[in-house]
Structure 1
Amino acid sequence: MISPADDSGSRSSGLPPRRPPSITTSSTDPTEPAANESTAAAVPANETRNQSKYDFVKVRVWVGDHFYVLSRYLVSRALVSTKINSRDAVTISLELKKTLVDLALTDIEQEQFENFLYKTMLVYGYGESHVECYRMMSSFHRNRTPLLIILAGTVLQTDLIFELMCNFSGYVSETSLSDTVFASDEALLAQYTEDCSIVRKGVNSDIDKCLKEGKSLIIEGLHIDPRLYQAEVGHTVPSGGIVIPFLLTIDPEDHKSFIESSPDPRYKLEKAANCFKSLQVVQTYLKKDSAPFIEVPVDIHSLHGTLDAMHDVVLQRIEQVYRSTGVGSQCT
């Protein structure tokens, strides 16, 4: 099943190189003479960057009597989920595949595959904490733990669910936070909560399927009212699933600047002032009784920072479940 090859040095012991090697990402053999310029020009630049000759060799990873074909893309995604730099994740996955192919390990047990991966991670400066985090995420996916992430807030404009439910139910809403001038804040919120109820009905089956079948689901949009999701968020999920609710908020001055500079036609010219006022009223309403939703201030100057903060929360919640099984882990 496993076919190790005779090789010298660190490779004979199943170890990756002692230092990160230079990696050739083109589909040609680096030992062969370079092709002429006309041939090189015929190869699209994106293919040269993204493909390697090692991608044409299949590596089967065996789990018991079953196997799956190793995918560099999926390995990279799994590494990124543990907060490894995306560029490093691509490099690690390629070096891992390169090592296995060069050792003729085209059939390999899952445990041996993971050992090669962990050693390669260490070579590139990712220590035990990242290794443990990867083990945790592998266990999380292997056990098919349900994961439901709910994103609420006025910075989200995903209204697709709302529009679909209106079409299916025959409910007609002529209101728009950017176009409609409401008689009062109370009238605005009355219409908003009614629209949120429509969305809540629309996502019921998706949430139920997620929690019962061990799937991952992200629900996001302007019409997510934390008050309508307390049953899922405030109690322990019978299936052992993880529910992580976020409320994304934004500083009023940043929000105003964002709306005024947005290319979205809904926010242009005379609509901007009314839209800003309406969204601020909704944000105040959402923040009032948002617990246990986790409030995350959005920094429009550093969206990666906002995403990192949410990523940390997701890993911490998964780690809590992972620790409760008695395995233990630590993601940093």
Structure 2
Amino acid sequence: MDLKKITNKIIVKGKNYDMPFSKGVLARSLTAAGMKPSEAYNIAKEIEKMLNERGIDTITKDEIRKIVYEYLISKNYESIAEKYLLWRRILKKHPIIILIGGASGVGTSTIAFELASRLGIPSVIGTDSIREVMRRSISKDLVPMLYESSYTAWKALRIPSEVNNEDIHILGFERHVELVLVGVESVIDRSLKEGLSVIIEGTHIIPGFMEEKYTKMPNIITLILTLSSEKMHKERFAARAKITSRPMERYLKHFEIIRKINDYIVKKAYEYNVPVIENISISESVEKCLEVITERFIYLDKKECEVNREAITGNNKVL
């Protein structure tokens, strides 16, 4: 389809498809690189104006990235410019898998959707949704624990030695995580195979439980959220109850267990050197997440440069 026939906007030509230029998409890319949203939108407007003044009606993605980069440099946004190119370069080459873990109520889904919006990642999947899919193919009689919540999973423990364990709540949680991670790893495998970026969030993202092959992949990034304040944690459940169908009473009834799970997840994160982010402010948490992701992208970019340099050096030796 010729987009110029149905829109008067500038057309950005990609490898597989074309799309109209969007100030919102560009602004989102700039905020991901660390620019304030208001500044990012103003810059996007200025670049759109500049393209129109030049009479450009069609432009490639690479050309627009070059223009954005040079414009940012001219406005003394050197750091943002470098990060902008870094993000575009990495996201173009690799599917990025972001795993966000944390106990019920600490805000993993909120942060996941905010990050997805900033990064242009189209898919956010909750581990609870993965568990629901697994339930449809596995009966309750066969695996009763799958039909419990993470904080009530201990009720499905059957082996006497497990039931008598002094920390039965954590043991039940661990068994629950092991079950759901089978589905989580399947989602990761499919995303890697199809080259699609995805954010997976939920209680079942626990450092040390996933297969080592995933934790060693530089394009799989794990983050853990927490709330140290019990008062704030309870308030989050109250706020969520107002906008969803989830009753607050169920969570408050099991609040002590949920807090115990929170402490356990944080302990595991420190044990495996996974970043822990105190999720008091959504905007600050998103910025901290972006800092961690950017650091990983810098590492990825550096590794690729080293590989390319070695390949060139090796070829020269052969010649």
Give the TM-score, by structure 2 length: 0.70
Specify the code of the residue in structure 1 equivalent to 2:58: D
Specify the code of the residue in structure 1 equivalent to 2:187: D
State the distance in 2 between where 1:149 and 1:260 align.
24
- Of 129, 133, 136 in structure 1, the residue corresponding to residue 79 of structure 2 is 129
State the distance in 1 between where 2:240 and 2:61 align.
49
For residue 251 of structure 1, report the CA deviation from its aligned partner: 0.7
Q: Answer with 59-68 or 161-170: which moved more.
A: 59-68
Can you list the C-alpha shifts for 1:167-220, whole angstroms capped at 9, x where unaligned?
A: 221244454467799687633223222221221111222111223333212111
Specify the code of the residue in structure 1 equivalent to 2:193: K
Change (3 A) 1:112 1:200: closer
Can you list the C-alpha shifts for 1:223-243, whole angstroms capped at 9, x where unaligned?
A: 2232321414542x3xxx511
Specify the code of the residue in structure 2 equivalent to 1:85: K
For residue 315 of structure 1, report the CA deviation from its aligned partner: 0.7
Match of 2:225, SS?
A: strand
Aligned to 1:8: none
- Of 194, 203, 220 in structure 2, the residue corresponding to residue 243 of structure 1 is 220
- Of 94, 101, 110 in structure 2, the residue corresponding to residue 152 of structure 1 is 101
Aligned to 2:159: none
Specify the code of the residue in structure 1 equivalent to 2:264: Y
Can you list the C-alpha shifts for 1:108-163, whole angstroms capped at 9, x where unaligned?
A: 4555433432344346x4521111111111211222x1211111111247522222
Match of 2:199, SS?
A: strand
Specify the code of the residue in structure 2 equivalent to 1:152: G
- Of 178, 184, 187 in structure 2, the residue corresponding to residue 203 of structure 1 is 184
Specify the code of the residue in structure 1 equivalent to 2:194: E
Preserved CA contact (<8 Å) 1:299 1:306: yes
Change (3 A) 1:166 1:194: farther
Preserved CA contact (<8 Å) 1:249 1:298: yes
Preserved CA contact (<8 Å) 1:148 1:216: yes
State the distance in 2 between where 1:136 and 1:102 align.
28
Change (3 A) 1:195 1:109: closer
Which structure has the larger Rg over C-alpha atoms? 1
Match of 2:204, SS?
A: coil
For residue 256 of structure 1, report the CA deviation from its aligned partner: 4.7
Change (3 A) 1:267 1:65: closer
Aligned to 2:207: 226
Q: Answer with 213-222 or 150-159: which moved more.
A: 150-159
5+ long unaligned stretches in structure 2: 1-5, 110-125, 156-162, 307-319
Please state if 1:164 is matched with 2:145: no
Can you list the C-alpha shifts for 1:26-56, whole angstroms capped at 9, x where unaligned?
A: xxxxxxxxxxxxxxxxxxxxxxxxxxxxx95
Aligned to 2:88: 138
Preserved CA contact (<8 Å) 1:248 1:298: yes
State the distance in 2 between where 1:228 and 1:56 align.
50
Please state if 1:280 is matched with 2:259: yes
Give the TM-score, by structure 1 length: 0.67
- Of 1, 4, 10 in structure 2, the residue corresponding to residue 59 of structure 1 is 10
State the distance in 2 between where 1:114 and 1:272 align.
47
5+ long unaligned stretches in structure 1: 1-54, 328-332
Change (3 A) 1:201 1:234: closer
Question: Matched residues, percent identical?
Answer: 21
Preserved CA contact (<8 Å) 1:95 1:120: no
For residue 260 of structure 1, report the CA deviation from its aligned partner: 6.6
Equivalent pairs counted in the alignment come to 264
Specify the code of the residue in structure 2 equivalent to 1:316: E
State the distance in 2 between where 1:65 and 1:175 align.
44
1:7-26 → structure 2 map (5 Å cutoff): none
1:1-332 → structure 2 map (5 Å cutoff): 56-61=7-12, 69-108=20-59, 112-122=63-73, 125-143=75-93, 145-154=94-103, 155=106, 156=108, 158=126, 159-171=128-140, 172-173=144-145, 175-176=148-149, 186-235=167-216, 237=217, 241-258=218-235, 261-264=238-241, 266-268=247-249, 271=250, 273-290=252-269, 291-292=271-272, 294-300=274-280, 302-326=281-305
Match of 1:215, SS?
A: coil
State the distance in 2 between where 1:115 and 1:175 align.
52
Can you list the C-alpha shifts for 1:271-319, whole angstroms capped at 9, x where unaligned?
A: 565322011221232233334352424242x221122111100011001
